[in-house]
Amino acid sequence: MQIIPAIDMRGGRCVRLHQGDYGRETVFADDPAAVARRWRDAGATRLHLVDLDGAREGRPVNRATVKKILAAVETPVQLGGGIRDLETVRRYLSDGVDRVVLGTTAVKDQPLLTSALAEFPGRIVVGVDARDGLVVTEGWREASAVTSVDLLWQLTELGVPRVIYTDTLRDGTLTEPNFAALETILSDDRLSARHLRVIYAGGVSAIDHLRRLAATGVEAAIVGRALYTGDIDLAEALAAVHGSTGSS
């Protein structure tokens, strides 16, 4: 299982939100590129970037910061937040982003998602953000009536190979992952038959959580606040998880 550090950008700085609440922000660094180098040096093999301003405004806002990160490290990055059209997808991928994460678009504009999947096979990830089992969009500010499992099934029918499942009530809380919700997804026969690759995010705050997530068979886990507070040491976590699972 891959462990992917998160770098959430707002106003050009590296921040973390509590449960996606823009009014509950903690600034951890003024230079996200330096943070990217830190996680690279600790052994990260992929970084997860989020343009929080973009998610809120529905358009790219922190592109300049993303470019600084891409110039600072050769580590593959995946990026989400405010990506609502194909031209933005093309622009970020041409900048050097390895994967683009589509969230709101996947729920509200599935023709666009289908076009992106066809044009960029293997480079599109769908972010499925859920609160109490229901999908939320627009930077987690709008709740839908769609369950996460139903959306995941729709996505597999469209040919989506990989998703990031985030439990928004756990995100940034330093509690623990929603293992029950994750089990509901991983045990669904329809989804397992399609070999959907799942990346989990939300509430990961201890190395034991990562060991448990690795045992579920998820492809990767995204870790945010716990890395910045020191609750999880990335190098130690990589050694613990890879040593116990044999994955890389």
- Going from the C-alpha of 173 to that of each of 68, 90, 202, the distances in angstroms are 28, 34, 8
Are the CB atoms for 167 and 130 separated by under 8 Å? yes
Take residue 46 and report the two structure tokens written for it: 């992929």
pLDDT at 139 over 90: no
Q: In this predicted structure, what is the pLDDT of residue 45?
A: 97
Specify the 3-state DSSP secondary structure of 25. Answer: strand
Active site residue 129: yes
CATH of the domain at 15: 3.20.20.70
pLDDT at 67 over 80: yes
Q: Comparing 33-47, 97-111, 132-146, 212-226, which segment has the lowest mean pLDDT? A: 132-146
Give the range of the structural domain holding residue 139, as residue numbers without chain letter: 2-245
Q: In this predicted structure, what is the pLDDT of residue 215?
A: 96
Out of 21, 41, 53, 129, the active site residue is 129
Q: In this predicted structure, what is the pLDDT of residue 105?
A: 81
Provide mean pLDDT across the span 115-136.
91
Q: Which helix (H) or strand (E) holds 164?
A: strand 162-167
Domain count, the chain: 1
Out of 8, 53, 167, 171, the active site residue is 8
d(CA 241, CA 3): 9
- Summary mean pLDDT of the chain: 89
Are the CB atoms for 136 and 113 separated by under 8 Å? no
Active site residue 150: no
Are the CB atoms for 148 and 131 separated by under 8 Å? no
Query: Phi then psi for 101, rounded to 5 degrees?
Result: -105, 120
Cα Rg for the chain, rounded, in angstroms?
Answer: 16
Take residue 131 and report the two structure tokens written for it: 């609160």
